[in-house]
Amino acid sequence: MTVESQTTGARPDPSSSAVLPEVSIVLPCYNEADHVAAEIERIVAAMDGSGYRYELIAIDDKSTDDTLARLREAEAKYPQLRVLAFRRNGGSGTARRIGTAEARGEIVVWTDADMTYPNDRIPELVDYLRAHPDVDQVVGARTVERGRHKLLRVPAKWAIRKLAEWLAATEIPDLNSGFRAFRRATALPYLRLLPPGFSCVTTLTLAFLSNQHTIDYVPIDYERRSGRSKFHPLKDAYRYLLQVLRMIMYFNPLKVLMPPALWLMGIGVAKGIADVVRYHFHLSTNTVLIFVTGLIIAAVALLADLFVRSRGD
3-state secondary structure 64-79: CCCHHHHHHHHHHHCC
* 4 lies in some domain: no
Give the residue from 302, 296, 307 showing the smallest Cα distance to 261: 296
| pLDDT number for residue 146 | 59
- Among 191, 185, 206, 46, CA closest to 129: 185
Domain tally, the chain: 2
Does residue 276 share a domain with residue 142? no
State residue 54's pLDDT score: 97
232 and 306 together in one domain: no
CA–CA gap between residue 166 and residue 160 (Å, rounded): 10
Residue 13 lies in a domain: no
Nearest CA to 251 out of 210, 212, 215 is that of 210
Residues 237 and 261 in one domain: no
Q: What is the dihedral of CA 245, 117, 231, 66, to 10 degrees?
A: -130
Phi and psi at residue 215, in whole multiples of 5°? -120, 130
**15 belongs to a structural domain:** no
Structural domain harbouring 304: 253-311
Give how far Cα 86 sits from Cα of 61, 73, 98, Å.
Answer: 5, 17, 10
CA–CA separation, 187 and 101 (whole Å): 10
Rounded CA-CA distance 123/111 in Å is 12
**Cα first-last separation, the chain:** 18
Q: What pLDDT shows up at residue 234?
A: 65
266 plus 227 within the same structural domain: no
Q: Are residues 118 and 170 located together in one domain of the fold?
A: yes
In a domain, 123, yes or no: yes
Task: Count CB atoms within 10 A of the CB of residue 9.
Answer: 6
Q: Kindly list the distances between the CA atom of residue 204 and the CA atoms of 41, 178, 209, 275, in Å, as whole numbers in the listed order.
A: 27, 10, 9, 48
Same domain, 128 and 275: no
Widest CA span in the chain? 87
pTM of the model: 0.81
Q: What φ, ψ does residue 279 adopt, rounded to 5°?
A: -110, 20
Q: What is the pLDDT of residue 150?
A: 60
Q: Is residue 221 part of a domain?
A: yes
Same domain, 104 and 178: yes
CATH of the domain at 83: 3.90.550.10
Q: Do both 141 and 38 map to the same domain?
A: yes
Calpha distance 215→204 (Å, rounded): 11
Tens digit of pLDDT at every position of the chain (313 positions): 333 333 333 344 444 445 899 999 999 999 999 999 999 999 999 999 999 999 999 999 999 999 999 999 999 999 999 999 999 999 999 999 999 999 999 999 999 999 999 999 999 999 999 999 999 999 999 987 655 556 666 777 788 888 888 878 899 999 889 999 999 999 999 999 998 876 899 999 999 998 899 999 999 998 776 656 555 656 667 777 887 888 888 888 898 899 999 999 999 999 999 988 888 888 899 999 999 999 999 999 999 998 888 876 5
Q: Which positions ≥6 away from 244 have C-beta within 8 Å?
A: 160, 163, 164, 167, 175, 202, 206
d(CA 75, CA 21): 17
